[in-house]
């Protein structure tokens, strides 16, 4: 592994995925790229929230910078035991394009390993809503490590 792509999610399983990615990267002397994906609705809600804060505190905040800081805090906490360099990217994508965003960012950034969380879903759920993990596995040009939530 030269560069790993870690898809960021808010969950306890994500912290375990961070450890796994950190261990792999440290052992391979590789760096990591953390990808935060926001849906259009999440982005708009964050903009509204930050605008409300601005009106009270008279301080401007940027959605992307705020998301990066949140990830940086979590990553610094979990990866403190590993000597790993990392970058963070934030993308706004529709939920059905999230897997493609992972593949695209991986290609753009030269990532050869992806770390993602998978959900256990029924076959009907996969057929109706698609399966993020499956789409990443089939389209990512490299290894994919999946932790199930």
Q: Which pLDDT score is estimated for 129?
A: 43
Cα→Cα distances 40→76, 106, 117, Å: 27, 21, 21
The domain that holds 16 is classified in CATH as 3.40.50.620
Q: Six-digit token pair at 109?
A: 């950034």
Residue 30 has pLDDT above 90, yes or no: yes
Q: What is the mean pLDDT of residues 80-90?
A: 93
* Domain encompassing residue 94: 3-148
Segments of the chain assigned E as strands:
3-7, 31-38, 86-92, 113-118, 143-148
pLDDT in tens, 89-132: 999 999 889 999 999 999 999 999 999 988 766 655 454 345 88
Q: What is the pLDDT of residue 120?
A: 66
More confident residue, 66 or 111: 111
- CA dihedral 75→77→82→83, nearest 10 degrees, is 70
Arithmetic mean of pLDDT, 54-59: 66
Token look-up 């529709």 returns 94
What's the domain count of the chain? 1
Predicted pLDDT of residue 127: 45
């Amino acid at each position: 592994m030269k560069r790993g792509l870690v898809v960021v999610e808010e969950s306890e399983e994500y912290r375990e995925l961070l450890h796994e990615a950190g261990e792999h990267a440290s052992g391979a002397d590789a760096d990591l790229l953390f990808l935060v994906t926001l849906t259009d609705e999440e982005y708009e809600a964050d903009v509204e929230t930050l605008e409300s804060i601005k009106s009270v505190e008279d301080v401007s905040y940027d959605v992307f910078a705020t998301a990066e800081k949140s990830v940086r805090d979590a990553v610094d906490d979990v990866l403190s035991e590993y000597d790993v360099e990392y970058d963070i990217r934030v993308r706004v994508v529709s939920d059905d394009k999230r897997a493609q965003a992972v593949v695209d960012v991986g290609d753009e950034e030269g990532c050869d390993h992806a770390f993602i969380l998978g959900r256990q879903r029924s076959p009907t759920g996969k057929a109706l809503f698609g399966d993020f993990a499956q789409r990443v596995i089939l389209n990512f040009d490299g290894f994919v490590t999946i932790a199930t939530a």
